[in-house]
Amino acid sequence: MLKAKNPVNPGLNIIIVGCGKVGTTLIEQLSKEGHDITIIDKDAQKVQEIASYYDIMGLVGNGASYNIQMEAGIEDTDLIIAVTNSDELNLLCCIVAKQVGNCATIARVRTPDYSSEAGYIREKLGLAMIINPELEASKEASRILYLPTALEVNSFAHGQAEMVKFKLPKDNILSGMTIAYLGRNIASDILICAIERHGTVYIPSGDFQMEAGDIISFVATRKIVRSFLKEIGFKTICGVFELFEAKDYETIERYKEFVHVYEELYLQSDAILSISEYVDNYYINRNMQVYRLPPMIDCTEYTAEIKGMDKYRFIIPSHKDSLKSMLMAFAGLKAEERDGIELHLCGIKKEKLMDIMDQALWTCLESCTIVHDWMRYEELVALYQQMHFLVIARDVCQRTLANFPSKVPECMSLGMVPIVSDVGDYTKYYLRDGIDSIFIQGDSVEEIRKSVRKAMALSKIEFKRYSENAIHCAETKFDYRVWIDKVHEMLANEPRG
């Protein structure tokens, strides 16, 4: 039965169809605002977990079903938001809702073919809004890369002009300069609209003198905005943490949405902050200034806990990389070997596991395997603190050579010992095989199993030594404090205003 609307804090009655990342984010935000939320999803476990956590109503089923929508209270609903992974299902949910109820409708549409026709679809189907979070994220990334030093950027006149707000740093050439001098000697084609100082907003005249700490708003064309900020000393350093190929995306359309970022936008910056030697070479070959830093952590934020030694616990942190090979490696252990371990899987549903392995394989693993669905970060850390080994097997390709798995330093700081394929910077420059980690030669089932057995053969004293060395590696090679001087050096070489 639906909950009654709270008369003290009346909000909207909202139905959200789809409990993925976008849906969960909407649920979190809208429930905080006091709205009455009902969720619909085909995944019973996810519905139960989210409904219980946020104290909202949940229904299991097809969100486009007339019966399901009626049960959810569509006739009294103010707004339905359909954000499943299927564009067609999202549109159908909204069509049914418009016919049955009298509510506003919002559909998530990701397919580029549909996105280009969003206006037509919205008008013909009577939708209040069509959203494409991935496209908006891409646009936001482009904006940030275009003007990363700006506090705020607003476009108007159909994108021909922009109003930009930025904070004037210490020792900038504008500090102490009047508006009139700026217009005569540096930039005559910008308009300083307002300057905020100590909470007071001024409309500056020509004799107004700018000071460090001022928040300055100005208007100019897009081209002039960038050249002006560069002229007064602002530099742009873009961080590159991944280099994907077309095969890494679900569709070629998705690849085309993002490839321009690192093939075009990043090249407009003054320097690249790289995460690996492969990324270094990629941009050095394109005549870019490059600096390299590993993923950094704060080793004092969470600490290693004493781990139970009744059995060794292994964790595979995501569905990426050579997941099937890793699962087959554990399934191929002898029954008595599997009895002595626990295998934890994160970031993948049990249903999807069955898509990559048959029932016989799962039967071998079921008794020793625990599958974790979505977890809050604090819960994930608590799980990591119990684990003994992190398992990441990867093939050699552009993605793995360019990437540096952030889970490696994070888990090492909690005393977990990595069992990882020898590919990329983390095994080449940071980890030490047989000391703080165990390397896998390649990503074949046999090599993975061999490394897992090597871990299982460690005595409690040997594991303790590995674990302590892993913590030491995290503290001396990945803690952000270790890299402060390097960052200062990088900023000194790329002077700012």
Residue ranges and CATH numbers for the domains of the chain are: 13-131 (3.40.50.720), 150-228 (3.30.70.1450), 237-292 (no CATH), 312-481 (3.40.50.2000)
Strand partners, 35: none
The pLDDT of residue 5: 43
Closest CA relative to residue 408, chosen from 436, 368, 378, 442:
436
**Tens digit of pLDDT for each residue in 420-449?**
999 999 999 999 999 999 999 999 999 999
Among the listed ranges 25-29, 146-150, 394-398, 477-481, which one has the minimum average pLDDT value?
Answer: 146-150
**Tens digit of pLDDT for each residue in 226-239?**
788 888 888 777 88
The pLDDT of residue 354: 78
Q: What span, in angstroms and rounded, lies between the C-alpha atoms of 67 and 40?
A: 12
**Tens digit of pLDDT for each residue in 161-189?**
888 899 998 889 999 999 999 999 988 89
pLDDT at residue 70 above 70?
yes
Higher pLDDT: 99 or 4? It is: 99
- Mean pLDDT of the chain, nearest integer: 87
In the chain, the percentage of residues whose pLDDT exceeds 90 is: 57
**What stretch of H or E contains 400?**
helix 398-402
The pLDDT of residue 373: 79
pLDDT at residue 496 above 50?
no
pLDDT at residue 263 above 90?
no
How wide is the angle at C-alpha 403 spanned by C-alphas 400 and 404, nearest 5°?
115
The pLDDT of residue 116: 61
In the chain, the percentage of residues whose pLDDT exceeds 70 is: 92
Higher pLDDT: 424 or 257? It is: 424
The pLDDT of residue 1: 34
The pLDDT of residue 495: 43
Closest CA relative to residue 291, chosen from 486, 482, 496, 497:
486
Count the Cβ atoms, other than its own, within 10 Å of residue 265.
16
CB 216 within 8 A of CB 234: no
